[in-house]
Amino acid sequence: MIVVFLGPPGAGKGTQCNFICDRYALKHMSSGDILRRERKEGTDLGKEAQSYMDSGKLVPDNLIVAMMMKEIQAADDAKGFVLDGFPRTIGQAEALDNAMDKAGKKIDVALNLQVDDNKLEERVTGRRSCLKCGASYHLVFSPPKVENQCDKGCGQLNQRSDDTSETVRSRIATYHEQTSPLVAYYTKKGNIADLDGNAAIENVTKQIVEVLDKV
């Protein structure tokens, strides 16, 4: 089973990806994680991607696709994959489909996690984490026992620099501009499933199970 997971920043894809991978024994493939690893390991792909990033340019679609296909082909023993954060554009989706065809694979379903923009901002700007132990909190949904302090006694919590209101609004706008057209792309292909991401976590999970159990 190969799943594409679409959704804006703060939609809760990470939580649901973990569940999907555990339940269906799938491999989680995050384009961001893979790109960071390739750069850290100094691979040819990583160095080429770094050259674009250092000059302030977007990493080309063909390079991102090459990275993802390298990862997919290296994990042939896996029962399937969840592609998280990829594809981000129509160009990447088309290149991915072409590469999949050549490899004798196909996308089974694209999960489209839909969340209202105002809820997204609340979810993202409320996130906090402990840099020492890695614990995660949310000011509204899972606050620490003492304001802005880690429950494990590590000290003050941290807010990611890209979790501010201004940055979040920009990231959401970029998502709508670049990635939302993928909904129309996969709708046309007939393999998309819309999910109500405004619902509670367990209800979103239930929706996903109903979709994937039929794949």
Q: Where are the domains of the chain?
A: 2-116+179-212
Q: How are strands ordered across the β-sheet holding 2-6?
A: 27-30, 81-84, 2-6, 109-114, 192-196
Residue 191 to residue 159: CA distance in whole angstroms: 37
The per-residue pLDDT for 57 is 77
Summarised one tens digit per residue, pLDDT across range 3-41 is 999 999 889 888 899 999 999 999 999 888 888 899 889
Q: Is the pLDDT of residue 72 over 90?
A: no
Q: What is the mean pLDDT of residues 152-160?
A: 95
The per-residue pLDDT for 146 is 96
Q: Is the pLDDT of residue 179 over 90?
A: no
pTM for the whole structure: 0.83
The per-residue pLDDT for 133 is 95
Phi and psi torsions of 81, nearest 5°? -140, 155
Instruction: Centre a 10 Å sphere on the Cβ of residue 176 and count the other Cβ atoms it contains.
Output: 12
Residue 4 to residue 36: CA distance in whole angstroms: 20
pLDDT band at 137 (very low <50, low <70, confident <90, very high): very high
Choice between 166 and 53, residue whose per-residue pLDDT is larger: 166
Cis peptide before 181 (omega within 30 of 0): no
Q: What is the mean pLDDT of residues 167-186?
A: 89
Q: What is the mean pLDDT of residues 89-104?
A: 90
Q: Is the pLDDT of residue 77 over 90?
A: no
The residue whose two tokens read 């339940």 is 23
Q: What percent of the chain is modeled with pLDDT above 90?
A: 53
- Token reading at 6: 């679409």
Q: How far apart are the first and last CA of the chain?
A: 8
Phi and psi torsions of 45, nearest 5°? -65, -40
Identity (one letter) of the amino acid at 200? A
Topology given in CATH for the domain delimited by 2-116+179-212: Rossmann fold (3.40.50)
Q: Is the pLDDT of residue 53 over 90?
A: no
Q: Is the pLDDT of residue 75 over 80?
A: no
Chain mean pLDDT for the chain? 90
pLDDT band at 193 (very low <50, low <70, confident <90, very high): very high
State the catalytic residues.
Answer: 13, 88, 127, 160, 171
